[in-house]
Amino acid sequence: MRPSSRPARNETKKQRIDSEPLEYLSRFSTGIVYDVRLRFHAPLDSDTEQLENPQRIWKIFKAIQDDGILTKCVRVSAREATTEEILLVHSAKYHETLTSSADLSIQELKNLASTYNSIYLNNESARCARIASGGVIELCRTVYKGVVKNGFAIIRPPGHHAGPDGPMGFCLYNNIAIATKYLQEYHKAKRILIVDWDIHHGNGIQKVFLSDPNVLYFSIHRYEESKFYPYETSAAHHIVGEGEAKGKNINVPWPCSGMGDSDYLHVFNNILMPVAYEFSPEIVIIAAGFDAGAGDRVGDCLVSPAGYAHMTYMLKSLAGGKLVLALEGGYDIDVASTSALACVKVLTGEDPPALESLVPSTKCVEITQKVIQTQSKYWEALQSSSLQISYLNSEISSARLLHRETLSKERSELLMDEYGLLKLPINGSNVPDLFREEVFYSGLTNATDVIVIFIHDMNNPENFSQQESDLINGVNKFVGKVLAKNWELIDINIPSLDGFQDDDKAIVDRLFMHIWNRYIRPTSTKLVFVATGYGAVSITNLITNSDIESKESYFVMIPGTEIPNVPINKSTWYKENSYVLVHPVSIELNGSDSSYGALHPYGVRTELPLNTLKRFDQQILDQIVNWIGHR
């Protein structure tokens, strides 16, 4: 006897979306699809362990129910997808084969399943697959029509691997592809964004929409040169779509395991969100696999529930908030349920939790740059010209550009080739490229004790005196010493300019504040700021205009003639946490007010002009590194 389709006893009539008028439902914001019948898709042998098992959806629904968040949601009833709807994606032959499995013997079921890739079947599997697809259709329909604002479909079997001609990787029907085609066919949807954050590439979804210019498919997945499931080269970053749909397929293929929140959010900030705003979708559908979650041994990555919450929060800003999550993978049921709950909380209006760090790994930055380079020909948002910010509504003089190019070329080669640093992406900082090009970072993934933020200024190398050459050598040696200590590093050089004016200073402050907000402030790691010249002034401006005193922060300052100071209410804290190296004459001229920090005479030859006394000699280098190490 087949299981009854009768609703669970705790489902009241008013909770079911097909039982109430739209006026009643308007007060609800988030729809939830969950059908107990989907648990009947299970292995034939009860003692056989399967990663994709009925417990997955039950544990997610229970987590939402136990948290109490379900009271803020409305239940959207699932139904079986019709043959007409399924044929929008799948071939008639495959649909007939799967449908007929309901009448097969146990041995015939095993034989049929063995002809496919990573599939099991029982007599209820085809029906469950139709219900899963129908559930996603109904949720997408109600969100698209504005009946509910957003929603989560807790369904199985999953779907993003299933292709037109057959199943694959636990997936029977391609639930999201069918729902997307349904919106196009029956509701004339013009622009649909599908975001696939499952750790596996959604090769089935990609195949269906590869030549469709009205569907933007965006997938972040492990690839490892096609050595990770589904082992297909179609998951590579250079697969961009076909014909008029070129640029509408964006793959971000991770080259390794271990990718975490900062990596995913880096990709969101620098690729997905800029492109999505340009695409302007009418609805966003997430292939919500949670197998990249920290603790899932299949994905072996490090995304936290808070990370999933942040990604959901960002995607809520698109399409007027019309957002649907449909469950795909996620094989540690505790990880999946906790992550899904975090997403549902965001759907219902809660803010995502704070994150500890937003500094992406080296591998993340490398693949992000490759994807941007490949996709920039199709998206203005990724083209460098669209990211150019006019320099105070005037042109940068050719003399400034020449100075920048001379310095940047020499030092960039040293930092990237010898020290392995990368350019820190700072799109959206509202500063010209003249300043963007001088920001580097280490990208070390195993350095969690200290982040050193090094901000300094150097002059045009064509006019270096010996003392100024000593400064550059010292600056570069300091970088080497920081990396040798296995500390993380953000290196900000104030570019060589033909006369450093107040406008230039304002740009440096703007750049530094942007780096603080995006990369430094979210971390809980100990922070050490090291600065020379105007960099010291910029840091004291940050202290004045931020809550930096709430962080574990320390400061090494080597200013010029002027000793920058901080507000009186922060002076005691600043003095206790600073090491300010200045010329003895500067101390005599300025005094030793606590707002200047803990002053230490800078031991250099007194016959040199005060404004050149910023070089890093070996003694000073050792003092700074030792001071940092003892914080």
- φ and ψ of 340, to 5 deg: -60, -40
Question: Contact at 8 Å (CB) between 42 and 164?
Answer: no
Among 160, 161, 266, 583, which one carries the catalytic annotation? 161
Question: Contact at 8 Å (CB) between 333 and 59?
Answer: yes
Burial class from Cβ neighbours inside 10 Å (0-12, 13-18, 19+) for residue 234 reads middle
Contacts of 466 (CB under 8 A, 6+ apart): none
* CA–CA dist 558, 596 (Å, integer): 12
Q: Which pairs count as long-range contacts for 563-568, CB under 8 Å and 24+ apart, including other chains?
A: 563/587, 563/590, 563/596, 563/599, 564/536, 564/537, 564/539, 564/540, 564/596, 565/540, 565/593, 565/595, 565/596, 565/597, 566/540, 566/595, 566/597, 567/543, 567/595, 568/595
Token code pair at residue 1 = 């006897």
Reading phi first (left if > 0) and then psi (alpha if -120 to 50, else beta), residue 392 is in left
Token code pair at residue 65 = 């129910």
Catalytic residue at 90?
no
- CA–chain centroid gap for 298, Å, is 20
Cis status of the peptide bond prior to 564, with omega within 30 of 0 = no
* CA–CA dist 362, 75 (Å, integer): 43
* CA–CA dist 333, 410 (Å, integer): 52
* CA–CA dist 459, 500 (Å, integer): 10
Instruction: Tell me which residue has tokens 């962080």.
Output: 551
* CA–CA dist 359, 369 (Å, integer): 15
DSSP line for 65-112: HHHTGGGGEEEPPP-PPPHHHHTTTS-HHHHHHHHHGGG--HHHHHHH
Alpha carbon separation from 9 to 15, 36, 40, 477 (Å, rounded): 12, 11, 18, 71
* Cα Rg, the chain, nearest whole Å: 29
- φ and ψ of 246, to 5 deg: -60, 130
Which residues does the annotation mark as catalytic? 161
